[in-house]
A and B are shown apart, each in its own frame.
Chain A
Amino acid sequence: MQQIIFFFIRNKNFLLFGLLFLISVYLTVQTHSYHNGKYVSSANFLSGNVFSAKSNVTGYFGLEDENKRLTQENIRLRKQLENLKSIANPSTLDSTILPSGYVFRNARIINNTYSKSKNYLTLKKGKKDSIKIDMGVISSQGIIGIVNATSENFSTVQSILNTESQINARLKESNHFGTLTWDTKNPNRVQLIDIPRLAPVTVGDTIITGGKSTIFPEGILIGTIEEFNLDGDANYYDLQIKLFNDMTSLKHVYVIENTNKEEILQLENEVEHAE
């Protein structure tokens, strides 16, 4: 017994090191699996408040660019509105709100990383503002990521610049679907893989979200094709996509809630169990 105690006393530094190292590695592995839920995220009371205090100060520096972006978005939305008006009867448009199935909420980004291989953003809205895990996040110019942790007042978003992210996307022209991934090389360029070979692909074509998941509505802008190659077996294209968003300077975003999500998931579950 005495020898065991002596052993522990002699090696106490090593044991302490081993224990703490294992805890750290465990926490690291935890972040590599998206669905396990995270114990540690920057959506907590301390770091959330520190980041939002910082963003209160630095937020003023990019206001001019932010205004320009918003004006551009307004112009685009106005054009769409005019198109809609010419199609629909204006009197019905005024008095009824079309049930779109999606609720948009605005939020401010208080922390943004883009230089690591797994990047996250922190938003200054959380459970209190009805932000939930698995909601989509977009900016005025396109897709940004998916909410992956929330606290009372803050939430973190797994950016599309994250090697774990896989988002369904398609060519605007031809309805061919693929998966959006990131190779960590450039924060303004992502990859679209698994586009079948027969799809008509040209440089400059627009890529939008596919609407095959319950997270993003169909038709959210992503980027344009910059370069394309056939993959190893030559059955699928690997496309290099230049993002519309400048992921390195983001300020305000919209969080999308799909109000039909539970119903869709429940139905899909039932079908799966029935088989």
Chain B
Amino acid sequence: MQNNAILINAFRFILLVFLQVLLLNHINFLGYINPYVYILFILLFPLNGNKGLLIFLSFLLGFSIDVFGDSGGVHAAASVFIAYIRPWILKFSFGISYEHNNIKLYKTSLAQQFTYIVMMVFLHHIILFTLEIFNLSHILLIVKSTLFSGIFSIILLMSILILFSRKN
């Protein structure tokens, strides 16, 4: 990674943590629906960057959210999981050769971006809510929270990507 990329990612990390814990954790749309936009860091991490580093940084990211939210390690677990599984999802969304072609996320088609985000968000949320609720008798609550929070997160993440894409 170049110096520039390191700076951008460090800045993004801090900004997303603060955005999440100070604003997005308190939206409580319809009583309990919150978007989890901080995973944008994992989504935007250089696609051919070091995988071990990404896993470690994702742990730190999730852990910071947990410290602020008193949620033990649920965000850390969910973040580490999607960071580990990301290469396979990238392959699925952008084709087998994404690594060699040096693909940039904002240069791919909207449909490909959408597949990528939807898969990452739902995997993240299902682990997050399963661990947070930690009770199989509340499975309906887990599915409901995953679905609604997931849709909210996807809408926000797609908007952010479209707004900040540098196509021109």
Contact = CB atoms under 8 A, between A and B. Distances in A.
Q: Report whether chain A binds chain B.
A: yes
Contacts of A214: none
Interface stretch (A70-78, A80-88, A115-123, A222-230): A115-123
A66 B63 CA distance: 34
A111 B66 CA distance: 14
B141 interface: yes
Nearest to B81: A21
A20 B59 contact: yes
A116 to B, nearest CB: 6
Interface in B55-75: 55-56, 59, 62-63, 66-74
A113 interface: yes
Contact of A20 (B51, B69, B80, B131): B80
B118 interface: no
B80 A17 contact: yes
A54 B18 CA distance: 11
Interface stretch (A39-47, A90-98, A134-142): A39-47
A186 B31 contact: yes
B49 interface: no
Nearest to A57: B22
Nearest to A187: B31
B131 A17 contact: no
A28 B80 contact: no
Interface stretch (A8-16, A201-209, A235-243, A262-270): A8-16
A186 B141 CA distance: 13
B71 A25 contact: no
A191 interface: no
A258 interface: no
Given A12-B52, A20-B80, A117 B73 contact: no
Nearest to A12: B52
A47 B135 CA distance: 28
Q: Which of A29, A111, A187 lies at the interface centre, i.e. has the most chain B CB atoms within 10 A of its CB?
A: A111
Contacts of A163: 135
B132 interface: yes
B69 A28 contact: no
B112 interface: no
A111 B25 CA distance: 11
A38 B72 CA distance: 8
A20 B81 CA distance: 9
A13 B68 contact: no
B68 A28 contact: no
A47 B131 contact: no
26 contacts: A13-B52, A14-B84, A20-B55, A24-B59, A24-B63, A25-B131, A26-B73, A28-B77, A28-B132, A28-B134, A30-B73, A31-B71, A32-B72, A40-B63, A40-B67, A42-B67, A42-B68, A47-B21, A47-B67, A51-B68, A115-B32, A116-B32, A116-B71, A163-B135, A184-B141, A248-B28
Interface of A: 12-14, 16-17, 20-21, 23-32, 38, 40-42, 44, 46-47, 50-51, 54, 111, 113-118, 120, 122, 156, 163, 184, 186-187, 248
